[in-house]
Structure 1
Amino acid sequence: MATILVVDDELGIRALLSEILTDEGHSIELAENAAQARACRERMRPDLVLLDIWMPDVDGITLLKEWGSSGQLSMPVIMMSGHGTIDTAVEATKFGAIAFLEKPITLQKLLRAVEQALVKTAPRPAPVLGSTNHNSYARAEMNSLQMSLPVSGNSLPLATLPPAGLASEQSFELDRPLREARDAFEKSYFEFHLAKENGSMTRVAEKTGLERTHLYRKLKQLGVDLSRNKRGGGI
């Protein structure tokens, strides 16, 4: 995962972006103006910067130019603005920005822009000739996600859960009240997606079509243990 510097003079924007990107497993640093951004960039050498254009002291375009002219633009920069125009976006890319996001920023656009920026700058590992690790891993993944559908007696074996200390197969007792059976299925369903997405609540919300707040309430109601799905102790 990456170290990302978020530069924005609005506290709400900083908090929201920090929550979403932390949930994706990234390490986040925050700055509310150009002076703090300079200090953070010097101290931590971020993998990516999300930079607001309109700030009260030094605007984002000026800071971008400054980094470019001094040879400090060693990381991708995504510009953000709620009042941007096509000319502004063109100017930002001319001075080294890799992308431009218009506020309000949607979750999908943010995650896509961050992912694309990091992929473009990530070093590509050299292929190992004759290695079968990749194929073996792919086969293992396929096997772990295969579904067993035949009904036997009063129980129905369902899809496996990815490796995360979870059982490889779930068996649901069908000879029980509908509410209990449904809750058991939903619990396993959400545990499956949490394990598959490495505990990322953002991606699970996207996959299941639920708002994050609703998802949290649902998981709490079902008694899903979130701690075992967290990456390194964090969501």
Structure 2
Amino acid sequence: MANILVVDDEMGIRELLSEILGDEGHVVLMAENAQQARDARAQGTPDLVLLDIWMPDTDGVTLLKEWQRDGLLTMPVIMMSGHATIDTAVEATRIGALNFLEKPIALQKLLKAVQQGLSRTTEVLRPAPVYHARPVPAPVEETSIPAPAGYSPAPMGMTPSVGLPAAATPAGDAHLFGLSFDLPLREARDAFERAYFEHHLMREGGSMTRVAEKTGLERTHLYRKLKQLGVEPSKVSRKG
């Protein structure tokens, strides 16, 4: 989960990007002009900024120059525009922008650019590894280890086994992963699938892209499945 600042004077664009990125488990801050973006940056460094070029007060390229001049360009910035020229995109990249997205922005291009930007943030923040000389282990005297209770030697070619307490055997369980075997099949299956998807959502920080990859489902199918099961990705990721 990352903190992403979306700067765009069009309310529809801000809301659409906020919804998409929110479904991915990110926290989205929104600014409708350059001044609000300055204020948001002054309160803390976001993990990523999506910055529109054409805005009514100050254009995105000028704001990017300000951040670069003042030493505030410490986060990846992805520029967005529906009217910018190639020269503008090149200039923004020269100043320090990581990427440039042309409106209307395709979903896959947006998610790929965001993932690349956040990967860049992770690389910057990751500490350098510290290497230590490996200690030489002291010689260990051979001692005999008593066999565990329930152990019996197996014939040659067979794998030895240790006896399990009756309570730990599947036959002694009334529940599996907290699910009752007394439920009707459909309810038990839904309960298992709900727990299964919640587990992956928490593990992947609410990222629908990574959950889709882990579960082998297409994003559209995954969205429908979560809605059917009543699972809300944003709530589950906060719970994790």
Per the TM superposition, whether the score is higher than 0.5 is yes
Amino acid of the residue matched to residue 200 of structure 1? Answer: G
- Rounded to whole Å, the distance in 2 between the matches of 1:77 and 1:230 is 28
1:168-216: CA deviation from partner (whole Å, max 9, x where unpaired): 9998x9xx9xxx65x8656644642442232737335675335376445
CA drift of 1:12 comes to 1.4
Identical positions, percent? 54
1-10 vs 195-204, which deviates more?
195-204
Report the number of matched residues: 190
- Rounded to whole Å, the distance in 2 between the matches of 1:184 and 1:54 is 53
Q: Which has the larger radius of gyration?
A: 2
2:179–2:191 CA contact under 8 A, matched in 1: no
- Which residue is equivalent to 1:22? 22
- Which residue is equivalent to 2:81? 81
CA drift of 1:51 comes to 0.2
User: Over aligned residues, Cα RMSD in angstroms?
Assistant: 3.6
- Rounded to whole Å, the distance in 2 between the matches of 1:71 and 1:126 is 23
1:142-166: CA deviation from partner (whole Å, max 9, x where unpaired): xxxxxxxxxxxxxxxxxxxxxxxx9
- Rounded to whole Å, the distance in 2 between the matches of 1:69 and 1:228 is 36
1:7–1:30 CA contact under 8 A, matched in 2: yes
- Which residue is equivalent to 1:208? 217
2:206–2:234 CA contact under 8 A, matched in 1: no
Distance 1:93-1:196 versus aligned 2 partners, 3 A rule: same
- Which residue is equivalent to 1:219? 229
- Rounded to whole Å, the distance in 2 between the matches of 1:60 and 1:14 is 15
CA drift of 1:4 comes to 1.5
Give unmatched runs, 5+ long, in structure 2: 133-175
Distance 1:109-1:188 versus aligned 2 partners, 3 A rule: farther
Q: Which has the higher contact order (CA 8 A, sep 6+)?
A: 2
183-192 vs 194-203, which deviates more?
183-192
- Rounded to whole Å, the distance in 2 between the matches of 1:231 and 1:40 is 24
TM-score (norm 2): 0.64
